[in-house]
A and B are shown apart, each in its own frame.
Chain A
Amino acid sequence: MSFVLVQVIVGGLLLGAVYALFSSGLTLVWGMMNIVNFAHGDFVMLGMYVAYVVYTLLGGGPLLGAPLATLSLATLGVIVYFALIRDIMKGPMLAQILGTFGLALLLRYSVFWWFGANFLSLPQNIVGGTLAFLGLRIEAARLVAGVVGLLVTLGLHLLLTRTSLGSKMLAVAEDATAAQLMGIRPDSMQAIAWGIAAAATGLAGALIATFFYIVPTVGETLGIVAFVTVSLGGFGSIPGALVAGLLIGVIESLSGYLIGAVYQDIVVYVLFLLFLWFRPQGLMGKA
């Protein structure tokens, strides 16, 4: 295998780990409440803008921007749950899709209105320069983003499977009424799930902002990426989201390298449609 190809694949894996991070938020609320957040990609976009504002207003780098983005998005997630999701969950499918889709528009165009449509970016090398490792050249920002994305995604998995909070959340996902009889408040658990899911997008956004351009419409593409990842990985499965995220990162990088950057989004979308056609239950899911 040529050296460039290895470089492209490593880049794809690092990007894919960040995809996995924000997709695990989507898969969590989808698996738990059977509601799809169409504003998920726009949450990531907000995380990017929080990191940008932290830099321009406070002069803080990602070390300050990432925690602030995580916190502010977690707060937003809980607010959105209580103000909107809790009620539309009981409504018809039309209301569920319209509700989160409308939220996506509201967020996207509020940012558009405030910041304009210009491409913004954090200064290059805000994390560090380009590292040379075994002959590979990797931007420090992408390396940090990939490693943090991987670790936090694994952490989320452990949180769900190894802690009492995780067990409670899974209990609510399984049967909210039964969980309530056991003294677990479904409302609180679902609000926490929204907080965690949104926190994951905030962190992912702050990480992506260190090496990617920042623009209000970026959430649309990222939302579709998250949706593809969750479809591939199976709903509610964080390990599934991790594998699928890494896979999509690599596919995107490879197709960008082999057939041109313009077409890399198309490849992901077409892949998604093919999957819906042939294997709607996901890579690892069961029918």
Chain B
Amino acid sequence: MRRFVWPLLLLALLILYPVIVSNPFAQRIGALVLLYAIAASAWNIIGGYAGQVSVGHVVFFGCGAYAAMGAYAHFELTPLVGIPIGFVLAVAIAAAVGVPTLRLSGHYFSMATIAVAETVRLIVTNTDYLGASPGLSGPAVPRNVFDLSFVSALPYYYLFLLVLAITLAITWTMANSRMGFYLRAIRDSERAARSLGAPTSRIKLYAYMLSAGLTSIAGALYAMMFGFVDPESGLGILISVKILIMAALGGAGLLFGPLVGAAILVPLEEISNSLLGGQGAGLTFVVYGAIIVLIARFQPGGLLALAGRLWERRGKPAEAVAKVEASHAP
């Protein structure tokens, strides 16, 4: 049971956070941290565990967001209806993209994901039914609780926490199943995994579809909280970037990596935006770019992997550290 102690403590802290911090701005940031943590955790399944770097994950985010807002804008239904629709749509797109590209080496997959995301963004921007440039709006005044339109960030906070917990539980189950072992084998050496009989393309495809479906839920929740979606906020490449960098900063391929990354970057961005205004947006992404480069160059495992190494190292003589280091070398 000892390995559940830290996750349970973390959960307790997350549940209590809005009680301890009553400032609405801080609660809003808390909700956003959880929301991005959902998307980044979903990305982590394909990008971290399987090591296939999707740089166009926003297309799945957009599936959820547009399905949720579309359900209201065109059929006056609750945006909740959009969750299953967006999920199916995202999984279908992932299958269509994944079948041809996951057979190829990782670079093709990455570039194909950008091309798909940009194609969809351009098409949606020119489609009136999907709101074109102005986008689609949700209910201006909530009709009932199922419109999920609240003034306070608190209901969103607990909703997102629930979804994040489910996402992490799914990820954890997957990581400890046969599929999880296949995925790690693929990440370390796809050729070796294939020669040992792992159905590599199929496993990667399943991971991609699962990741896509979960990302679409994050998109639907995002649209409900903000009450609208447009091509920039629902399909812009910068959302892909945020999702990816949060997972990579915290630790790609680690269960809590994306949450750690989101907990660092979301407050950073919100605070820099509120301090610097519109001018800050450019600067934020300069910093994001620099962080990604530095992680790639010095610490590809992310902060959690670094913390884990430092933890193992504490109080040990130098030779033992060297031994541990050597055993961790790829």
Which one of B112, B126, B244, B279 lies within 8 Å of A276 (CB-CB)? B112
A216 and chain B: residue at smallest CB distance:
B282
- Are A270's CB and B119's CB within 8 A? yes
- Are B111's CB and A224's CB within 8 A? yes
Bound-complex Cα distance A151 to B289 (A): 35
Query: In the complex, how many angstroms separate the beta carbon of A9 from the nearest chain B beta carbon?
Result: 24
- Are A36's CB and B107's CB within 8 A? yes
- By a beta-carbon cutoff of 8 Å, the part of chain B in contact with chain A is 47, 51, 53, 55, 97, 100-101, 103-104, 106-108, 110-112, 114-116, 118-119, 122-123, 126, 187, 237, 241, 244-245, 248, 252, 279, 282-286, 288-297, 300, 330
Interface residues of A in 252-276 (CB under 8 A from B): 262-263, 265-266, 269-270, 272-273, 276
Bound-complex Cα distance A243 to B97 (A): 27
- Known interface pairs A97-B110, A113-B283, A273-B119; A84-B297 also in contact (CB < 8 Å): yes
Bound-complex Cα distance A207 to B15 (A): 57
Query: In the complex, how many angstroms separate the beta carbon of A219 from the nearest chain B beta carbon?
Result: 12
Query: In the complex, how many angstroms separate the beta carbon of A24 from the nearest chain B beta carbon?
Result: 18
CB-based A-B contact count at 8 angstroms: 139
- Known interface pairs A88-B296, A94-B300, A262-B122; A276-B290 also in contact (CB < 8 Å): no
A99 and chain B: residue at smallest CB distance:
B296
- Known interface pairs A99-B293, A105-B288; A94-B112 also in contact (CB < 8 Å): no
In this assembly, does A96 line the interface, its C-beta being within 8 Å of a C-beta of chain B? yes
Q: Which residues of A contact B286 (CB under 8 A)?
A: 105-106, 109-110, 113
Chain A interface category by residue count: 35 or more
- Are A94's CB and B104's CB within 8 A? no
B125 and chain A: residue at smallest CB distance:
A262
Q: Which residues of B contact A97 (CB under 8 A)?
A: 53, 55, 106-107, 110
B284 and chain A: residue at smallest CB distance:
A109
- Known interface pairs A102-B289, A110-B286, A266-B123; A95-B300 also in contact (CB < 8 Å): yes
- Return the 8 tightest CB-CB contacts between A and B, nearest first: A102-B292, A106-B289, A105-B289, A99-B296, A113-B282, A109-B285, A102-B293, A277-B100
Q: Which residues of A contact B53 (CB under 8 A)?
A: 93-94, 97-98
